[in-house]
Copies of this chain bind each other. A is one copy, B any other.
Amino acid sequence: MGSVAMDSDYGAPRELSPLQKARALYQPELPPCLQGTTVRVEYGDAAIAVDVADAHVISQAFPHTYGHPLAHFLRKTANVPDATIIAEHPVVRVGVVFSGRQSPGGHNVIWGLYDAIKAHNSNSKLIGFLGGTDGLFAQKTMEITGEALSSYKNQGGYDMLGRTRDQIRTIEQVKAAMATCQALKLDALVIIGGVTSNTDAAQLAETFAESKCQTKVVGVPVTLNGDLKNQFVETTVGFDTICKVNSQLISNVCTDALSAEKYYYFIRLMGRKASHVALECALQSHPNMVILGEEVSMSKLTISDITKQICDALQARAETDKYHGVVLIPEGLVESIPELYALLQEIHGLHNKGVSVENISSHLSPWASALFEFFPPFIRKQLLLHPESDDPAQLSQIETEKLLAQLVETEMNKRFKEGTYKGKKFNAICHFFGYQARGALPSKFDCDYAYVLGHVCYHILAAGLNGYMATVTNLKSPVNKWKCGSAPITSMMTVKRWSGSPAGSQIGKPAVHMAIVDLKGKAYELLRQNSSSFLMEDIYRNPGPLQFEGPGAETKPISLCVEDRDYMGRIKQLQEYLEKVKSIVKPGCSQDVLKAALSAMASVTEMLTIMSSPSFSGQATI
Contact = CB atoms under 8 A, between A and B. Distances in A.
Interface of A: 4-6, 9, 14-23, 101-102, 131, 155-159, 162-163, 245, 248-249, 251-261, 265, 284, 286, 320-322, 429, 431, 433, 435-441, 538-552, 555
A599 to B, nearest CB: 51
A541 B6 CA distance: 20
A542 B156 contact: yes
Given A255-B159, A321-B5, A20 B435 contact: no
Q: Please list the 4 inter-chain residue pairs (A to B) with the smallest Cβ-Cβ separation, ordered nearest first.
A: A255-B439, A157-B255, A256-B439, A549-B550
21 contacts: A9-B258, A9-B538, A18-B552, A20-B541, A20-B542, A20-B543, A20-B544, A22-B550, A23-B544, A155-B255, A156-B252, A157-B255, A157-B256, A157-B258, A162-B260, A252-B437, A253-B436, A255-B440, A256-B435, A431-B435, A548-B550
Contact of A441 (B21, B438, B545): B545
A109 B346 CA distance: 58
Nearest to A156: B255
B6 A256 contact: no
Contact of A545 (B131, B253, B546): B546
A155 B544 CA distance: 10
Nearest to A103: B259
Chain copies in complex: 2
B255 A245 contact: no
A552 to B, nearest CB: 4
B545 A440 contact: yes
B439 A251 contact: yes
Given A22-B551, A102-B259, 5 more contacts: A15-B286, A15-B539, A17-B542, A158-B260, A440-B545
A543 B261 CA distance: 32
A257 B547 CA distance: 24
Contacts of A552: 17-19, 22
A257 to B, nearest CB: 8
Nearest to A322: B6
Contacts of A547: 19, 545, 547-549
Contact of A541 (B15, B433, B437): B15
A427 to B, nearest CB: 11
